[in-house]
Structures are given as C-alpha cells and as structure tokens.
Amino acid sequence: MKGKRIIPCLDIDKGRVVKGVKFADLVDAGDPIEIAKAYESQGADELVLLNISATEEGRKELLDVVEKIAGSISIPLIVGGGIKSVENFRQTIESGADKVSIGSATVYTPSIITECAEIFGSPTVVASIDVKQYKDDVYSVYIEGGKEDAGLEAIIWARTVAGLGAGEILLTGIDKDGTKSGYDIGITRRISEMVKIPVIASGGAGKLEDFYDVFTEGKADAALAASLFHFGEVDIKRLKQYLVSRGIRIRKGRAQKWTN
C-alpha cells in the first residue's frame, strides 16, 4: 500500500502566492519559486499550483511560474485554475506540470476529462471538486471559484468524474477553506470510499491532528494545506514525524527519508 502524501498548495495571483478564507480576503504570502523550493527541502511529496486569476494575462503569468518552478524542484507538480480546453491542458503539461487539475470545465464539458485522459494519460488528470454542505449529509458542487452552485450532488459527481477517466480527485470543502478548523471528514470519507481513485483532501487544516484525522477517519490518500504551511505554523518535516509516530504510513519525500 502506498503511503499518504502531504501536498502544499500555492494559490497564484499576478505571479505571487496569496491566501484567503473561503476563497476571499486574499493576502500576499510570498514568492512562489522560493516557497516551492523550501517545501521540497522540508519533504513535501507533491506541490499544487492554482491560478486564481480569471484573466488570460493571469494564465500566461501562471505558465511562466510553472516553467520556473518545474525547473527548480524535482517533486511532482499539479497545476490548475482556468483550464477550459484540451489546449489549455496541453500548454500546462508542456510548461512543466506533471498533472493538471480541471474544475469548472468538467461541469460544462464533461468529455474534457476523457479527452485529456486519452491523450495525456489518466494519471495526469485531476478532477477538482469544490463542495458546500446543502443540508444534513447532502453536499453541492460549486464552480467558478466557489461562487456558483452547479446543481450537482457531490458524491454522484465524484463517481461520474472517476468513470470518465480522471486519475485523481482534489476535493475542497469550501465551508472549511482557510478556517483552520479541520478538514470536512464526513464528505471526504464518503467520496474516498465511493471511488477507486485517490482523493486529495483540501480545506481546513489547522493543526497536526487534522492530518491524522483526515487520513484515518476521512480515508484520504493525500492532504493538502496552504496557509498553515505558508505562515510557518506547521513544518512539513515535523508533520511527517508526527504522523509516523502515530502509525501512519507516509511517502518518503525526495529530500527526507521517513519510516514507520
């Protein structure tokens, strides 16, 4: 069984790393290349870059950042945000991404998942699903940066994207994003148990125990965090040592060796 992964996320706006709460109130968090190199040295397993600029210029800036980061680190790079076509996907891969995350476009044109999987391979396709709790245990899928209800039930949609050929799901609980109150364990577990592809949990990490909980109770294959790492509240090396001490099998980072 493969080990669990720790994945820092860099939200990129105008070539800089930013972070907010529930997709709003953004603040500058630093230079993406320097931050990426630091995360690799700490033992991060992969790195996510998300373009939060809706402009074409913003996309060009992101691809430039992708190229620079890809040339500076050796861990896998997942890039998303604003991917609307197979050509966008191709450009991102050619800029140095190992995987590409697609969100809103999968709702508008589900066939993009299958097309990209057939051309570039299923492992390169990460279906990004942003969710909000509607009532009780019912979650709705949101698109356009969490602003618009897509009218889709989260679990059904997760099964759909997996069936279309996605190699992985990046699941973000919008209600938890940036709050540091812990991951949304309920929906993460239900989707993780429902699909046969890996699920990356995102949104809400606030302390070491949150990672343990999302791996054990939430059944996630990977855990993503942003502000917790950006502002030095949790060091990835320390986090991995903590997880190993609690019996979690984790990946051996390129820069560090870990055992349990």
Helix 185-194 vs helix 154-164: crossing angle, to nearest 10: 40
Q: Which two tokens stand for residue 202?
A: 């995102």
pLDDT in the model for residue 116: 98
Question: What is the DSSP secondary-structure string of 45-83?
Answer: S-EEEEE---SHHHHHHHHHHHHHHHTT--S-EEEESS-
Please tell me which residue in 13, 45, 130, 184 is annotated as part of the active site.
130
Identify which of 142, 220, 153 has the alpha carbon closest to the alpha carbon of residue 175.
142
Consecutive 10-residue averages of pLDDT for the chain (260 residues): 90 79 64 92 95 73 93 96 94 97 96 98 98 91 91 97 98 90 96 98 95 98 91 91 96 52
Q: Which helix (H) or strand (E) holds 92?
A: helix 86-94
Q: Which two tokens stand for residue 84?
A: 């609307």
Letter for the amino acid at 102?
I
pLDDT in the model for residue 129: 97
Please tell me which residue in 11, 13, 45, 213 is annotated as part of the active site.
11
Q: Are 49 and 32 in contact (CB under 8 A)?
A: yes
pLDDT in the model for residue 27: 72
Active site (annotated) includes residue 137: no
- Number of H helices and E strands in the chain, helices first, is 10, 12
pLDDT digit string (tens) for 4-14? 999 999 988 88
Active site (annotated) includes residue 13: no
pLDDT in the model for residue 259: 39
Which CATH class, in words, describes the domain spanning 5-245? alpha beta
* Dihedral of the alpha carbons of 88, 103, 38, 199, in degrees to the nearest 10: -130
pLDDT in the model for residue 24: 57
Identify which of 163, 160, 141 has the alpha carbon closest to the alpha carbon of residue 152.
141
pLDDT in the model for residue 49: 94
Q: Which two tokens stand for residue 122?
A: 């299923």
pLDDT digit string (tens) for 166-196? 999 999 999 998 888 999 999 999 999 999 9
Count of CA atoms in the C-beta half-sphere (13 A) of 143: 17
Give the three-state DSSP class for 233.
coil
Rounded distance between C-alpha atoms, residue 24 and residue 20, angstroms? 5
Boundaries of every domain in the chain: 5-245
The share of the chain scoring above pLDDT 70, in percent, equals 91
